[in-house]
Amino acid sequence: MLEVVTDPNVDWHEHWKNSAEFTAVENELYRINNEDKADIAGTTQEEEGSHSEFAMPFSSQLYSVTLRVFQQYWRTPSYILAKFLLCIAAGLFIGFSFYDANVTQQGMQNVLYSLFMVGSLFSTVVQQIQPYFVTQRDLYEVRERPSKAYSWKAFILAQIIVEVPYQIISGLLMYACFFYPVVGIPSSERQILVMLFCIALFVYASTFAHMLIAALPNAETAAAFVVLLFAMSLIFCGVIQSPAALPGFWIFMYRVSFFTYWVKGMAAAMLWGRAVTCAPAELSIFNPPSGMSCGAYLEPYLQLAPGHLQNPSATSNCSYCALSSANQYLGPSGIEWSDRWANFGYLWVYIVFNIAVTIALYWFFRARKMSGNKK
């Protein structure tokens, strides 16, 4: 071997350049170089921007961070169990507090009050989420943002995405524990409607929590805003006072409140089309003129009045019920069965709005400042 390679009569460099192996290697290098150029040219503008600052494109960042946050949630069972136990315990308490709401006027009010009680859990759900988010954010801003592990947009979206499945399960638990004890088993369409509205409530709570905490330093500060905004939204949703009874200045709160459309959809699904039979204490008792039956005496009035007469052939102790259908009770509050899907759509407008504002607030108050400080 030494004799071959040290032969002074052979120019091994020239021999290699003229060989078939050299040509094959050159062709392979040319092919690899062209493939790399094609890959770079086909990269989207967003991914090019991501590569300029981070090692991976944004889509890969979002996937990896979301997967990691899912694992963190799975390894924190106390946080998840607290969510689920809250929904089960509160749902059963509310459901059996208003158990088997009958078809009287009081029964209809009980259904609305049960919705009010379910809505009152909103603040608790929000304040469960915010401290956990603050912990994740502190870790990101101290360790992972400076090392450019991934983008702040991937961090925010991952936190929102991972909460959604758990909020859906929470909504299902609340629906099952509260709905059936209150109204029994209505038609399948009504059951599905109430289930969807319950899920939307809990998903909204998650996005609302992230929106408020995104720009604030800690959960304690955010809690003050949560209580204020939640109280104003729930008080003016139309359960405590109908829209017609609200002061003129405050009617705007009724229109912008998430709970207005949530209560409308839930009440329509649970009460619309329900016949009303007044309890004895709810009846108006009176005697007609001598020689007239109750029906004959009230006939002109009943043509215009919304109620019904329970004993039209009686000649004394006429029993008049002011309502004959739940629709007459819901109508003054603007609750209509025909608006059920529109109201459901409005809820998702609020959810999307919360997500957009969360991203904007985090960028304006935190991500922008961190980038400025680095410069």
Residue 48 domain flag: no
User: What is the predicted pLDDT for the residue at 118?
Assistant: 94
Specify whether 152 is located in the same domain as 286: no
Amino acid at 251: I
Look at the block and give the residue holding tokens 């104003």: 232
User: What is the predicted pLDDT for the residue at 357?
Assistant: 96
Mean pLDDT, range 49-61, rounded to an integer: 74
User: What is the predicted pLDDT for the residue at 300?
Assistant: 87
Rounded CA separation 58/60 (Å): 5
**Is a pLDDT exceeding 50 seen at residue 321?**
yes
User: What is the predicted pLDDT for the residue at 36?
Assistant: 63
Q: Are strands 308-309 and 318-321 parallel, antiparallel or unpaired?
A: antiparallel
Look at the block and give the residue holding tokens 């809990």: 202
* pLDDT confidence bin for 50, thresholds 50/70/90: very low
Specify whether 70 is located in the same domain as 94: yes
Specify whether 212 is located in the same domain as 353: yes
User: What is the predicted pLDDT for the residue at 93?
Assistant: 96
Full residue range of the structural domain in which residue 360 is found: 57-262+335-374
Specify whether 235 is located in the same domain as 367: yes
Residue 159 domain flag: yes
User: What is the predicted pLDDT for the residue at 3?
Assistant: 65
Specify whether 91 is located in the same domain as 130: yes
Interior/surface letters 34-64, b for 16+ CB within 10 angstroms, e for the rest? eeeeeeeeeeeeeeeebeeebebbbeebbee
pLDDT, tens only, 131-173: 999 999 999 988 888 888 889 999 999 999 999 999 999 999 9
Residue 178 domain flag: yes
Residue 12 domain flag: no
By mean pLDDT, which of 59-68, 168-177, 209-218, 331-340 is the weakest? 331-340
Specify whether 76 is located in the same domain as 146: yes
Specify whether 211 is located in the same domain as 350: yes
Mean pLDDT, range 232-251, rounded to an integer: 81
Neighbouring CB atoms inside 10 A of 314's CB total: 15
User: What is the predicted pLDDT for the residue at 291?
Assistant: 84
**Is a pLDDT exceeding 60 seen at residue 372?**
no
Specify whether 72 is located in the same domain as 134: yes
Residue 5 domain flag: no
DSSP letter at 285? Answer: E
Domain count, the chain: 2
> What does the angle CA 222 – CA 118 – CA 239 come to, to the nearest 5 degrees?
100
Rounded CA separation 297/287 (Å): 10
* pLDDT confidence bin for 81, thresholds 50/70/90: very high
Residue 305 domain flag: yes
* pLDDT confidence bin for 61, thresholds 50/70/90: very high
* pLDDT confidence bin for 63, thresholds 50/70/90: very high
User: What is the predicted pLDDT for the residue at 202?
Assistant: 97
Residue 6 domain flag: no
User: What is the predicted pLDDT for the residue at 371?
Assistant: 59
Specify whether 257 is located in the same domain as 287: no
Is 334 in contact with 264 (CB distance < 8 Å)?
yes
* Residue of higher predicted confidence among 117 and 4: 117
* pLDDT confidence bin for 123, thresholds 50/70/90: very high
By mean pLDDT, which of 72-86, 195-209, 290-304 is the weakest? 290-304
Query: Which of these, 244, 236, 220, 257, lies nearest to 343 by C-alpha position?
Result: 257
Specify whether 310 is located in the same domain as 165: no
Burial of 115 (0-12, 13-18, 19+ CB in 10 A): buried
Specify whether 186 is located in the same domain as 84: yes
* Residue of higher predicted confidence among 238 and 354: 354
Percent of the chain with pLDDT over 70: 91
Terminus-to-terminus CA distance in the chain, angstroms?
Answer: 61
Burial of 311 (0-12, 13-18, 19+ CB in 10 A): middle
Rounded CA separation 157/32 (Å): 36
- Ordered DSSP codes for 80-136: HHHHHHHHHHHHHHHHHHTTT--SSHHHHHHHHHHHHHHHTTHHHHHHHHHHHHHHH
Specify whether 315 is located in the same domain as 350: no
User: What is the predicted pLDDT for the residue at 49?
Assistant: 47
**Is a pLDDT exceeding 90 seen at residue 204?**
yes
Residue 51 domain flag: no
Interior/surface letters 327-341, b for 16+ CB within 10 angstroms, e for the rest? bebbeebebebebbe
User: What is the predicted pLDDT for the residue at 16?
Assistant: 78
* Rg of the Cα atoms in the chain: 33
Is 139 in contact with 104 (CB distance < 8 Å)?
no
Task: Indicate the pTM of the whole model.
Answer: 0.81
No. of helices (H) and no. of strands (E), the chain: 17, 3
**Is a pLDDT exceeding 60 seen at residue 356?**
yes
> What does the angle CA 202 – CA 205 – CA 208 come to, to the nearest 5 degrees?
155
